Amino acid sequence: MQRSLPIQPTVVLLREGTDTSQGKPQLLSNISACLAVADTLSTTLGPRGMDKLIVNERGEAQITNDGATILKLLDIVHPAAKTLVDIARAQDAEVGDGTTSVVLLAAQMLKEVRGYIEEGVSPHIIMKGFRTASQLVASRIKELQVSVDKSDPQKFRDLLLKCAATSMSSKLIHSQKPFFSEMVVDAVLSLDQDDLDESLIGVKKIPGGGVQDSQLIRGVAFKKTFTYAGAEQQPKAFTDPLVLCLNVELELKAEKDNAEVRVEQVSDYQAIVDAEWTIIYNKLELIEKTGAKVVLSKLPIGDLATQWFADRGIFCAGRVTAGDLRRVVQAVGGSIQSTCSDIERKHLGTCGRFEEHQVGGERYNIFEECPGAKTCTLLLRGGAEQFIEEVERSLHDAIMVVKRAVKNNQIVAGGGAIEMELSAYLRNHARTIPGKIQLIITAFARALEIIPRQICDNAGLDSTDILNKLRQRHAAGQKWAGVDVDGDEGVRDNMEAFVWEPSLVKLNAISSAAEAACLILSVDETIRNPQSEQVSSS
């Protein structure tokens, strides 16, 4: 009689309903998800890239072709594809530009090695190959990059203008490149060159007017704050005024609801009211004694104080936002005071000219000719609100690129030139390496070609034909040959055509893309906990 096998007890490790996917199919599924994200972004790349119109759940529409913004608005839920969102955000925060490129590169690297994974090549060999290729690329960029001489201010300014124009060439404002490039470079050069804090460049969006009505204020401009009666009697323009910035409330406060004061006679009540008035009048007189002609406060300035200042020819504004007040202090000097007593001359700032005037449908307070101006304000105009928002995003990218170029004055040619040169270099180098790594480095080299290929596709050019021309030119030693979307031939020397980018943008993009690809390749199992089913109580 045959013995029956003992029945093995079932081991329940995970909660019932937990979704586990693992092995090769899971890895291929993650790669497909990343390719789907890249497909969405691919049409936005390059000077002929298209824009995306994204409508959120509240019905608000946004038009943009900034990779990081699109991914943020898409609200991606696939866990592996979220990695691409993270690298786009990191690229945006670190360098400001190249957010679409970094996603396309990462997805293309995965696409190139998908065949090897299906054939059973270990992901670790692929990851090792990618890391080797990434290091080779980084050292090759450092060999190729061109340094621009900072000692000649005019040459250096030209470099910054070219970098700003290249960043804007793929944006909605590419037709206004010369106008906005000047504005961006002037804005960055007005900052403290050691610190380069881009948050000190204020951006104010004013609907109406044309894009060319946008202007750069070499100082601070902010929208007129809420004012009480008496504000219209105040002078609206000063030359060389002293400016006092406060964090003090100049307003009579109503008694609290739960405050209780017991008085025996009317004169006692009057004494309490008089004391309150005396306090505020003392504050106002101390402010007047400082000699300040412009008084700004983060807290409200009430109707009594507004009228009092108006009678003495002083301009005041209360409820100024913290960011604007910080930039005013940076521009005019002095410091923000939390009390009205013991204010000395060193605590006050000054500017060459202060005035309040109309911009579009709003009134703006403008401080110009500031002695210590390490800040500036961009007043952006335009027809639709979505358009102005996209202009702001485009200028942010350009400002970040110019900031990086100021700090690191090394540049490379854009328009697919550097990618083709790196691809040719990796192909040649791969032939010297034995084993499977050779295939992986060649796949990495093919992945780099997605940038020039996509620029061609988006511009309606024959990408196969142009890539063949580029390969031939790079093999002949023309290291800066790149895509020309305007010319008949489709190929040109992009260094001579002034399509310049800081080398940091490319270094960061390729290393981030390789890291993201390695991260996705290292995952072979996804475990999702079941969402707790909550019975909604009716």
Known catalytic residues are 66, 99-100, 397
Residue 469 to residues 40, 461, 479, 491, 492, Cα–Cα distance (Å): 28, 13, 13, 8, 10
How many residues can be counted in the chain? 538
User: What is the spatial distance between Cα 184 and Cα 522, in angstroms, rounded to a whole number?
Assistant: 42
The Cα–Cα gap between 326 and 156 comes to: 30
Q: Which residue has the tokens 């360098």?
A: 95
In angstroms, rounded to a whole number, what is the distance separating the alpha carbons of residues 89 and 76? 13
Are 236 and 411 contacting, i.e. CB atoms less than 8 angstroms apart? no
The token pair at 164 is 């700003």
Three-state secondary-structure class, residue 521: helix
Say which residues have a Cβ less than 8 Å from residue 351's Cβ, sequence separation at least 6.
219, 240, 241, 243, 331, 332, 367, 368, 369, 370, 371
Question: Which of these, 176, 189, 73, 91, lies nearest to 508 by C-alpha position?
Answer: 91
Instruction: Write out 407-436 in H/E/C secondary structure.
Output: HCCEEEECCCHHHHHHHHHHHHHHCCCCCC
Q: What residues contact residue 52 under an 8 Å CB cut-off, 6+ apart?
A: 40, 44, 63, 64, 65, 70
Say if CB 439 and CB 136 are below 8 A apart. no
123: closest CA among 29, 20, 19, 28?
28
